[in-house]
Structure 1
Amino acid sequence: MPSRRTFIKTTAAGGTCLLLNPFGKAVSGGGSNPIRIYHASISIDALKKDPDLADILAGAGVKCVWTACFFQGSWHHTIEEVLEWNKFIEKKGMQVAQITIPLGHPSFTSSAPDYMPPVAVDIWKPGMRPDGRTYYGVSLHEGATRQNVEAVKKIKTTDPGIIFLDDDFRLAPSPADIGGCFCPIHQKAFLESHGYSEAQWGIC
């Protein structure tokens, strides 16, 4: 089974992923009462390399195509480019939605890993684990939060129907870690908001 990192690299580079909609009537190639509804996650780069791919998907019964323009803290496609490809997909008879891979930034310690484009980490503060170690990425600090909010607002202007925010909103370096940030700033805010003392923090 590929790792999450490998999956992100593959789909971002131009891969294709078919998804089942668990809420709809869900996937068939035709008929008035479909059993299932097929969705496909396709990178804009993949569509550029193979424009016939959209016809193949439409012919296979795919009803909605998910593309991605902002992920890992970088804009990989301009809003104008997204709008252009939205029209292309819609002309093929399919709906368009947006996915961010992920909403924030993958976790790393002092520098971005080699599979990511350069990330200017100095615009926000690092998060802190319960043991005091710091990390960048899924940070609750203002810089990263503001960047994510601004990105979603821009994406919304493309009328995507749905914007899917990846699970890095869990705000932890990895699935095995406790989520959230335990830096002095957030510690103070937590204690004040709930009426606890610093001594009580130590008990935890």
Structure 2
Amino acid sequence: MEVHTGKIISAQKKPTHFMLAAKIVILVATVVLYVMQMLIAVPLFGAFVLEENWGELDNTRLSAVGILLVVALVLDLVSFILAIIGSAKQEDPKTKMTIIIKALFIPFFLINITLYILAFMGMFNPFLMWAIPLVMVIGVCLTYAYMFMSSWPDIIYMLIYTIKSKRRPKLGMVLGLVFEFFFVIDIVGAILINKAYKESLAVLINKAYKESLEETV
């Protein structure tokens, strides 16, 4: 008895065009964010740590930071749109790439924390202390946005997959989705989602295999 392998192969090899593009856009946005961060970090590190002049946070540098921030946000929006299209087409979400991206973001967040500490050190005077809460709020919001940027392609995919498949989501998937909304453990969430995707793919392959067997009967 010959088993038709067409459905099995199609289940194993999903298209990746839009989801892969979404992850690549996120990688580009990550590079942009690092460049933006260095424009701020270099002069602050030189001034506060080494007590040397490694450049000033002048209007030109701050303008460049603002432009790069806008570019990163635009790329973020592009990746969001690509992720929606790819998820609707049930493409391979490339969940392993999310883990890599989140690992690449770890130094970024560590440098961010250092920058905020240095910024607060420069604000401990009566004329600037009022700005500390504002800087904290802006910093936390931006950092959270950067973290979430690397998460939402997988979140969108899993939500659409769950709705389309009409399957009850497993605990690992639910925990993965929840963890994606929190600092530090978001990388654990990415690992859980990667595992959940592999399990869902195994289900699809098994279903395709059974259908192929039925067609040969």
Q: TM-score, normalised by structure 1?
A: 0.30
Structure with bigger gyration radius: 2
> Larger relative contact order (C-alpha < 8 A, sep ≥ 6)?
2
Q: TM-score, normalised by structure 2?
A: 0.29
Higher helix share: 2
Higher strand share: 1
